[in-house]
Structure 1
Amino acid sequence: MAAAARPVDVMSFPSCSSTSLLLSHSRSLPPATRSSRLAPSSPASSMRRQLLVGAGASAVAALAASAPPALLQDGAATLLTTAGAYTLVRAFDALTERRLIEQNLSRKIVHVLSGFLFMSSWPLFSNSTQARFFAAIVPLLNCVRLLTYGLRLSTDEALVKSVTREGKPEELLRGPLYYVIVLLIIVLVFWRESPIGIASLSMMSGGDGFADIVGRRYGSLKLPFNKKKSWIGSISMFISGFLLSTLMLFYFSCLGYFRVSWDLAIGNLAVVAFAATVVECIPVTDVVDDNISVPLATMLVAFLLFGHSSH
């Protein structure tokens, strides 16, 4: 995986060949005109076309060769990550439309996988200073998409059904929009060199996501101070958030983005997971969405424990 962080040269060599045949109304043309239209191109004309095509291909190749390798790598990584994010959502759109998966389960699986896969793609970007801004394009495009459909400027019923609770377009402007805004902030502020952003995104995507999935199915025993939450859901959030945070911290440390003293980090991650779980349990979701309260609480506690870098 470390090789993914090295610059990659991406070059394209377009070739084009087109043949135009004039077939309509050829019988109404004078014989001389028909023969001139249908006559094969002269060798000089063919040579000119080949020279133009060759010159165009050479210009594109020269432009790609002159671009900085980091720029090409970041551009390619952005396209790949954007395509992956779009494919993920469309796949669950299709599953929801065909009733192969229920709406709430689809919504939470997308919630979990979006953060996890996006975070996993960060090593694809270069080590240049502009890499984080290229990565930020992915959640930014999703922001635009959610605003477009949430404000009913366009319609996408499959998207609405797969990522909302009640299937209403205006719901896109709440939880889903907050989610991608937090992704955008984490990329721009923390990026992959800080365990703070990694822990926050892990708790928001994995912890909160699994809490809902498990809690809906097995959460018959509710919390005494919040009947919307269950003991098993909260336990699932703590365990899954802690495990995902640990996994992603190990992933980025192995790739050399920072060093981790695991005897301290494990305890710190457990405290972070516990704090995020407590915040998620508090009955304030009607005032503050979990996609805002959980990552903010995680960032604060992680900052106090980790500081600007890992220990």
Structure 2
Amino acid sequence: MAIITILPLPSPHSNASFSLLNRRFSSPFLSPAVNLRRITPLPCGFRVAAVPDAGAAVLHDAGAAVAVMTGAYALVATFDTLTQRNIIQQKFSRKLVHILSGFLFMASWPIFSTSTEARYFASIVPLVNLSRLVVNGLSYAKDEGLIKSVTREGKPEELLKGPLCYVLILIICAVVFWRESPVGVISLAMMCGGDGIADIMGRRFGNLKIPYNQQKSWAGSISMFVFGFLMSIGMLYYFSARGYFQLDWIWTIERVAFISLLATAVESLPTTGIVDDNLSVPLVSMIAAYLSFQ
């Protein structure tokens, strides 16, 4: 049974360090000092903190992890079936999996408990996918559905490049930042939404190329900026509406627009053969978001 405790709010004039939603930033790795003036205070003078029973929290989080993993497999299987039946093209299917997998994973975080260990249960899902990528990428096994769904040319070794970076970023954002920080939310939105849609729009409308990189187009870069921005704001609102953090929205919109512009510039650089976009875009977004919200 959960124990309900009533905790007093700190005075707005006190020297207490900032914590999202008036609680200390709970990442076991980072404790950024965030500007109090950018946070909308809670309207009441107290908050209710639920302290879950340890055993119940473990069962809850284990069940949530199984549910999310089942959904992830169903998503990939659905697009694999659509590709095999020639309903959608393989490249389009791969990008839709790229976009939806990260967003659905991030959107599932609220179903996990409030325990400290919840983030680790959530990270089991991409961790299992990481093991599948390594096993198939090294040709210890051969999952044709997986290879067709997430690779460009259908080669197993491709699994150890972009797709592996993708799931590593999912794990980092879940474990390090989790639900209490805008940093992980923005990083995943830029990687999944911005970069994913940029590729789709670039292939379809990308006749006008960027002068310094003929592999990228203005249509793709503009889409990267617009959709990276919109999806970041949308996911920030999603978590804010559920009480994980409250933001000064005008200030936040300005910062997210800057991060989107920076991520777009990085995505447009001719470094695809050296550094994968699934690594460069979210890492740059992560650093910029961390500094912006510090």
Match of 1:78 in 2: 65
The corresponding residue for 2:198 is 211
* More helix by percentage: 1
Which amino acid in 1 is paired with 2:287? L
Shift of 1:97: 1.6
1:115 aligns with 2:99: no
Partner of 2:79: 92
Q: Which amino acid in the other structure matches residue 164 of structure 1? A: T
State the distance in 2 between where 1:303 and 1:159 align. Answer: 33
Q: Are 1:132 and 2:152 counterparts? A: no
d(CA) in 1 for partners of 2:149, 2:279: 21
CA distance in 2, matches of 1:244, 1:81: 21
TM-score of the superposition, structure 2-length normalised? 0.81
Aligned residue identity for 1:241: G
- Equivalent pair of 1:97/1:158 in contact (CA under 8 Å): no
The residue type equivalent to 1:99 in the other structure is N
Q: List runs of 5+ in structure 2 lacking aligned partners.
A: 3-52
SS in 2 for 1:100: coil
Distance 1:133 1:166 in 2: 33
Residue in 2 that maps onto 1:272: 259
**Other-structure match for 1:303:** 290
TM-score w.r.t. structure 1 length?
Answer: 0.77
Q: Which has the higher strand share?
A: 2
User: What is the deviation of 1:158?
Assistant: 2.0
Residue from 279, 284, 298 that aligns with 2:271 = 284
- Among candidates 131, 138, 146, match of residue 159 of structure 1: 146
**1:189 paired residue among 168, 172, 176:** 176
1:145 partnered with 2:132 = yes
Structure 1 residue aligned with 2:229: 242
- 1:258 is matched with which residue? 245
Q: Secondary structure at the match of 2:275?
A: coil
Give the AA of the match of 1:306. Answer: F
How far off its partner does 1:67 sit? Answer: 6.9
Larger gyration radius, structure 1 or structure 2: 1
Q: Distance in 1 between matches of 2:141 and 2:188?
A: 30
Q: Which moved more, 1:89-98 or 1:167-176?
A: 89-98
Shift of 1:279: 0.3
SS at match of 2:179: helix
Q: Which residue of 2 aligns with 1:198?
A: 185
Say if 1:96 and 1:158, in contact at 8 Å, map to a contact too: no
2:19 corresponds to: none
In 2, distance between residues paired with 1:126 and 1:137?
15
Aligned-pair CA distance for 1:144: 0.5
In the TM superposition, what is the alpha-carbon distance from 1:68 to its structure 2 partner? 2.2
Deviates more, 1:242-251 or 1:159-168: 159-168
Percent of matched pairs sharing the same residue: 58
Residue aligning to 2:36: none
Cα deviation code 1:214-237 (max 9, x no counterpart):
100010000000000000100001
Q: How many residues align?
A: 244
> Aligned equivalents of 2:255 and 2:137: distance in 1?
38
2:126, 2:133 → 1: CA distance?
A: 10
SS of equivalent to 1:190: helix
Q: CA RMSD in A?
A: 1.4
| Structure 1: runs of 5 or more not aligned | 1-5, 8-65
Contact 1:192 1:257 in 2 (8 A): yes
The letter for the 1-side match of 2:244 is Y
